[in-house]
Structure 1
Amino acid sequence: MRTLIRWTVGLIVVIHGLIHLMGVVEGFGWADVSQLTQPISASMGVAWLVAAVVVVAAGVMLLAGLRWGWAVAGLAAVVSQAVVVTSWTDAKAGTAANVLLALAAVYGFRANGPTSFRARSRRLADETVRSALSVAGPPGSLVTDFDLAHLPLPVADYVRAAGAVGRPHVVGFRADIRGRIRAGADKPWMRWTGEQTNTFGPEPSRVFFMDATMKGLPTDILHAYVGPAATMQVRLASLLTLVDAHGPEIDQAETVTLLNDLCVLAPAVLVDAPIEWTPIDDRHVSATFTNAGHTVSAVLTFNDNHELVDFASDDRLAASPDGRTFTPRTWSTPVTDYRSFDGRRIGAFGRARWHPADAPSFDYLEFHTDDITYLEPGHGT
């Protein structure tokens, strides 16, 4: 639906821009345009040509989905309307197309401009990466079997199978992820793509931007856990704020998610992570993690191939649709589809699952890791 809207608007704008050429033809005297009853001078013909070029460029950028197209769309709306006013009797219908252009510019600014969730997430991600690398120490230190000695055997085998031994220590990652999400067991699924950056060190952080679609409308979701506090914000069409959640409940929930990311997406970090491990049996281990005053625990389940196949915690709270109330509920993330990313092996497909006490368990999120880059000491951002 989103692509259809973008293409429809883009084509309308391109056609609108081409219609401006009628003013060019009339102004330069190349032909008599019967649809135009008002005279157009040669100098105004130049103005109509400039407007045509700018409007067509804006339409092409909208069709291509270029993120900075909003700036050209805004300029095009102003320039086009300026020439429309000079031939108001003949060209006033073009005002409708210019209003559409202006709306596209406003939406584009909110979706991709400097105040957008996307731009904010990238600024936060870059800041946290620079901070993590600045205190990571010198490059060259490799993970050895000795570094795994303090880990329970299932965890050590998992880290080893993930390809950590003989590779540099890891202080974070950047990942491109996609999937689908829904608000409840009986709610429709929403497709999304995401950009995620995590750092692990003295001040762990998690910045996750999701570009989703709700009922055909674009929906921006930003999770930011930087410093001692976390936030979750949702905007419909990049304009209407649906959720602005913060407080101790979100802090605790994001602490569980941070631990989950560490275990699922960055097993090499388990070598250095401040986690208290409690062995349960040869396939299960309990992990306790503290960050910013919040202590959370989870049970990790491994298979015979030394792969993490599930992560379950009772410490993550389920948020209401508006993000204002929270309910204690068991949360798990079964993981499959192990594959290698730059020599490091992780589960590329996972689910997030709620286990209500009074209803059947259900998956509310699915994710596919398309690409992941690990941050190592001494490397750039």
Structure 2
Amino acid sequence: MENVVRWTVVVVLTVHGLIHLLGVAKGFGWADVPQLKAPIGTRSGLLWLLAAALVLTAAVLLAVGAPTWWWLVAAAAAVVSQIAIVTSWEDAKAGTVLNVLLAVVAAYGFVSVGPPSFHARWDRQASEALTDVDAAPPVLLEEDLSGLPEPLATYVRRSGAVGKPRVTSLYAHFHGRIRSGPEAAWMPFTGQQVNTFGERPRRLFLMDATRSGLPVTVLHEYADATAAMRGRVLSLVTVVDASGEVMDRGETVTVFNELVVLAPGAIVDAPVRWTSLDARRVRGDFTLGDQTVSAELVFDADGDLADFVSEDRSRASEDGKSFVRQTWSTPLSGYRDSDGRRLLTSGEGRWKDPKGWFAYIELEFDAIDYNVRSLEAAGG
């Protein structure tokens, strides 16, 4: 539905922009334009040309993905186009309706990707987090694994982390689907996140989903062992605003999960006490600030991480105002080799409610970049 609306707006703006060329043709004397009865001189022709260029540029930018500054072009297009229309009001006043539409679209662009948006907030905080990581981390050596339980050490070796710089940060881009309960409809989403590791790890997670045809943006922020989760519909209406002790603890579990799932090269430096359970299971107790959370890591016969199970995470209600503790698991289903590293490609998140396990999120990782220093370098 969201794509249908976007492409409808693109088509309407393209037609609107092309119609402006009639004013250009008359102003420069290129053609007789009977639809425009009022005289248009060369100066007005230039105004119509500028309006056409701005409206068509706005349409193209929206079609190719709408960069964060797109709303500025759209707003300028609406203003210049309306000025041109006023100069030929009797002939062109119908175009005002489309400029009102363009102004509304520009306003939505401002709130969805402009300075007050979750996207802008994520960009600012992610950029700040990446400037605070070690620019030249030491290489991870085989002897650094000596203190790890053997299943975990095997996993780190298999990940390709040995012989490469220890991981201090990562950028990931992903897509998938999510739902609030076993009977709820799935919502498609795309997202990106930045994690930093070390004494003060940070996690910044941004997701754009679609629910009942409406865009929903969710932002997770974690720093100094404190977490917050916020969600908005249409980038305007707040539907989730969660923080507090339960949220802090749950997000600490998530940070622990992504440490071992996405960044095996950071495991040796993490504040974790490891206990071997058997040949394929390891328990980890992860401490950040005043939070200590635990999880069981399960490995398959090849040495890949197959699952991460914790009792220390709580499931949020749909409005994020209440939580109930449930067993949480992230079974992993795919890996690929890239540039000497073994990267996760797919997995899911599951809750165990009174009726049993159900998957609430399914993820496909499109890209994972390590030791990034800026969003531009990581493609963010």
For the superposition of Structure 1 and Structure 2, which TM-score range results when normalised by the shorter chain? over 0.9
Per-residue deviation, residues 192-227 of structure 1 (Å, max 9, x unmatched): 221111111110111111122222222211111122
Contact 1:224/1:232 (<8 A) preserved: yes
Contact 1:338/1:347 (<8 A) preserved: yes
Distance 1:117 1:182 in 2: 21
Distance 1:44 1:121 in 2: 43
Distance 2:26 2:155 in 1: 74
Partner of 2:49 in structure 1?
49
Moved more, 51-60 or 359-368: 51-60
1:169 CA displacement: 1.5
Match runs of 1:246-261 below 5 Å: 246-261=243-258
Give 1:27's aligned amino acid.
G
1:366 CA displacement: 0.8
Partner of 2:121 in structure 1?
120
- Unpaired runs of 5+ in structure 2? none
Give 2:128's aligned amino acid.
E
1:279 CA displacement: 1.9
Distance 2:176 2:108 in 1: 24
1:30 CA displacement: 4.3
Match runs of 1:1-381 below 5 Å: 1-67=1-67, 68-133=69-134, 138-139=136-137, 141-356=138-353, 358-375=354-371
How large is the RMSD of aligned CA atoms in angstroms? 1.9
Contact 2:37/2:91 (<8 A) preserved: yes
Distance 1:239 1:341 in 2: 40
Distance 2:124 2:280 in 1: 40
Per-residue deviation, residues 138-186 of structure 1 (Å, max 9, x unmatched): 54x3222321111112111111111222222221211112211111111
Moved more, 39-48 or 180-189: 39-48
* Percent identity of equivalent pairs: 49
1:9 CA displacement: 0.4
Contact 1:221/1:232 (<8 A) preserved: yes
1:319 CA displacement: 0.6
Distance 1:251 1:160 in 2: 31
1:120 CA displacement: 1.8
1:60 CA displacement: 1.9
> Which SS does the other structure have where 2:356 is aligned?
coil
Distance 2:171 2:157 in 1: 21
Contact 1:283/1:303 (<8 A) preserved: yes
Distance 1:344 1:208 in 2: 23
Contact 2:176/2:362 (<8 A) preserved: yes
> Which SS does the other structure have where 1:187 is aligned?
coil
Contact 1:197/1:207 (<8 A) preserved: yes
Distance 1:103 1:126 in 2: 30
> Which SS does the other structure have where 1:133 is aligned?
coil
> Which SS does the other structure have where 1:44 is aligned?
helix
Moved more, 116-125 or 328-337: 116-125
Contact 2:130/2:372 (<8 A) preserved: no
Q: TM-score normalised to the size of structure 1?
A: 0.92
> Which SS does the other structure have where 1:20 is aligned?
helix
Judged with a 3 Å threshold, the aligned counterparts in structure 2 of structure 1 residues 65 and 347 are, in CA distance, closer, same or farther, namely closer
- Unpaired runs of 5+ in structure 1? none
Give 2:94's aligned amino acid.
A
Distance 2:343 2:238 in 1: 35
Moved more, 166-175 or 323-332: 166-175
Q: TM-score normalised to the size of structure 2?
A: 0.93
Distance 1:276 1:217 in 2: 44
**Count of aligned residue pairs for this structure pair:** 374
Distance 1:271 1:176 in 2: 25
Contact 1:208/1:223 (<8 A) preserved: yes
Contact 1:169/1:376 (<8 A) preserved: no
